[in-house]
Structure 1
Amino acid sequence: MSQVCGLRAVFFDFGGVLAEEGFRQALIDIAREAGRDPAEVVPAAYEMAWTTRFVVGGCDEAGFWQAFRKATGIAADDAHLTEVVLSRFVPRPYMFALADAVRGLGLKTAILSDQTEWLARLDARHDVFSHFDQVFNSYHHGTSKREAAFFELALAAMDVTAGESLFIDDAAHNTELAARLGFKTLLYRDRESFFAELADLCPPLGAL
């Protein structure tokens, strides 16, 4: 396997990196549609995603939306709520182009994401998975990026070490944990700053 700047693998988050952060935007839109304050609905929904363990496969979509309706009083049906979420995950073509170019250099690529059963549906819509060697979805592994075990599981499956891996995420608490585990990390804020920081970290990748 090739190495570039000491790297053998690049791990990408999905929402907020490879695509727009659809869950948060969907919750804002759902709240406004129901005449509710997003500042109240968004935190409640995130709390439900974790307390129901939806993110780590502890319940399915129906269980999550049932808890969401109970917590928020928003009465929309599952199909509508899910469609709002899925439609807000808009892929970023330039990030998929980067993933393809990284593979073209001989490095391994993977998605490492706190996601749900929705990720497979997004793949069906947008052909996400074909750009990556492996996909690590918290929903199927019973653990998340809140825990070192998820990172360690992914490293073992990819047969790489943290020190030869780059992890890209839009949440600082995730990149901070990855850095403590030995990963090289980039915190995605926006397209311009991301590619500037990538070029500083590894000029050959920044030039892709």
Structure 2
Amino acid sequence: MPEPPRAVLFDFGGVIAEEGFHQGLRALAARNGLDETRVLQACHDAIYGSGFIIGRGGEADFWRALRAHISFRESDDEVRADVLARFRLRPHMLQLVHDLRARNIRCALLSDQIDWLDRLDARDHFFREFDRLYISYRLGKGKADASLFDDVVADLGVHPREALLVDDNAGNIERAVSRGLIAWLFTDEDACLARLAPLFSGQREISV
């Protein structure tokens, strides 16, 4: 990357916060003696198949679709509460967002999330930390559709090569790169912070 980015796009679950959905589903599988991989796939199929992830279906549609694939004894409310409790913000990542914005680098939350994200914000108040929010259930489009990245950079008023995506999903990374963005696969906080360190040291270049 010849110049620092003008905008950084952060995923939520797995980057800004712990991945509560996957953690909660693994716990659900363990409690009910279910295969973890099967539960994760069933949830993926239900949340996309019901349209819940892009705001075209409701929560009741999601639960019906999920229970059609797997059987578990907990109520919908109990599973939701457990999942939400596992989304824990990462303070160092939020500090990174704050520091980037202090250097006039725009920061956006770009996340495939259902409306439970509003409940998390009501609890933790993190929306205010970002310049823009691009959430799939609000947009009617998720990161599985590569054109979303075109929409986001256009809205931010930056060239694709001026935007950096930080995401923990390899497929999202590939799709962002295919649209001309710089994209880094998030593995852990320390690695992410180290990779972005040149932005705070006055260096003109950071590695792609």
TM-score when scaled to structure 1?
0.90
- The equivalent of 1:100 in structure 2 is 98
Structure 2 counterparts to residues 30-109 of structure 1, below 5 A: 30-109=28-107
Amino acid at match of 2:75: D
Contact persistence 1:22–1:85 (CA under 8 A): yes
Greater mean alpha carbon deviation, residues 105-114 or residues 152-161: 152-161
- Aligned-residue offset at 1:206: 7.3
- The equivalent of 1:13 in structure 2 is 11
Amino acid at match of 1:55: I
Contact persistence 1:170–1:188 (CA under 8 A): yes
Instruction: Give the one of 166, 178, 199 matched to 1:204.
Output: 199
Consecutive unaligned residues in structure 2, runs of 5 or more: 203-208
**What SS class does the counterpart of residue 144 from structure 1 fall into?**
coil
Contact persistence 1:96–1:131 (CA under 8 A): yes
Contact persistence 1:167–1:178 (CA under 8 A): yes
Match status 1:122 vs 2:120: yes
Greater mean alpha carbon deviation, residues 150-159 or residues 9-18: 150-159
**What SS class does the counterpart of residue 107 from structure 2 fall into?**
strand
- The equivalent of 2:110 in structure 1 is 112
Instruction: Give the one of 135, 138, 142 matched to 1:137.
Output: 135
* C-alpha distance in structure 2 between counterparts of 1:206 and 1:48, whole Å: 45
Contact persistence 1:195–1:206 (CA under 8 A): no
Contact persistence 1:11–1:112 (CA under 8 A): yes
* C-alpha distance in structure 1 between counterparts of 2:201 and 2:16, whole Å: 16
- The equivalent of 2:205 in structure 1 is none
Greater mean alpha carbon deviation, residues 118-127 or residues 68-77: 68-77
**RMSD of aligned C-alpha atoms?**
1.7
Amino acid at match of 1:142: G
Amino acid at match of 2:35: D
- The equivalent of 1:25 in structure 2 is 23
- Aligned-residue offset at 1:76: 2.2
- The equivalent of 1:173 in structure 2 is 171
Contact persistence 2:8–2:165 (CA under 8 A): yes
TM-score when scaled to structure 2?
0.90
Count of residue correspondences: 201
**What SS class does the counterpart of residue 158 from structure 2 fall into?**
coil
Contact persistence 2:12–2:111 (CA under 8 A): yes
Q: Deviations over 1:7-50 (max 9, x none)?
A: 21111000010011111111011121223222321211112111
Q: Deviations over 1:140-175 (max 9, x none)?
A: 111111112211221122222211111100011111
Contact persistence 2:96–2:193 (CA under 8 A): no
* C-alpha distance in structure 1 between counterparts of 2:19 and 2:200, whole Å: 24
* C-alpha distance in structure 1 between counterparts of 2:164 and 2:151, whole Å: 15
Amino acid at match of 1:106: N
Consecutive unaligned residues in structure 1, runs of 5 or more: none
* C-alpha distance in structure 2 between counterparts of 1:113 and 1:55, whole Å: 10
